[in-house]
Amino acid sequence: MALEEVLRNADVVSVHLRLSDQSRNLLNGTRLQLMKKSAYLVNTARRAVVDETALIKMLKEKAIAGAALDVFGEEPLPPDSALLDLDNIVLTPHVGWPTDRGYEEFAEHAVENILGYMDGKVFRAINPEAMEKKKVAH
């Protein structure tokens, strides 16, 4: 189905996209208005995929049933955010997306990375060249 058709028919729209030029503002005000009044939006991807201002307006007007977000235009969410005034939204601090197994893998990888680093090995490093500059403590 085309995105517009999905938005018109889905009871729940759950966003799981990497932010790119194609996904930025993908769910803009026009597309969000296609959603059913009984539908829910879940965004655990990136805030810039969904037009936050348009979503807030729709939630205030009860144009959709509700939303669940763990990504925001400003993080951490400021105390005066309009999102905090809504009664049809669930908010989490960008930790709502992983599964229990995902957390286990995070922990396992952290241990592997630390032990590897202590042995002079680099795993999953963004900047492996930093190992060349590593100072050895005596």
For residues 48 and 65, membership in a common domain is answered with yes
- Condensed to tens digits (0 to 9), the pLDDT of residues 52-62 reads 999 999 999 99
Q: What CATH number is associated with residue 76? A: 3.40.50.720
User: Is 129 among the catalytic positions?
Assistant: no
User: Is 138 among the catalytic positions?
Assistant: no
Exactly one of 75, 104, 105, 108 is catalytic; name it. Answer: 75
In a domain? residue 77: yes
In a domain? residue 138: no
User: Is 46 among the catalytic positions?
Assistant: yes
Q: What is the mean pLDDT of residues 80-94?
A: 92
What pLDDT score does 133 carry?
67
- Condensed to tens digits (0 to 9), the pLDDT of residues 34-46 reads 999 999 999 988 8
Asked if the model's pLDDT at residue 138 lies above 90, the reply is: no
Which residues 6+ apart lie within 8 Å of 58 measured at CB?
32, 33, 35, 64
What pLDDT score does 43 carry?
93
Residue 114: which domain range?
Answer: 100-133
For residues 80 and 114, membership in a common domain is answered with no
Asked if residues 41 and 89 have their Cβ atoms less than 8 Å apart, the reply is no
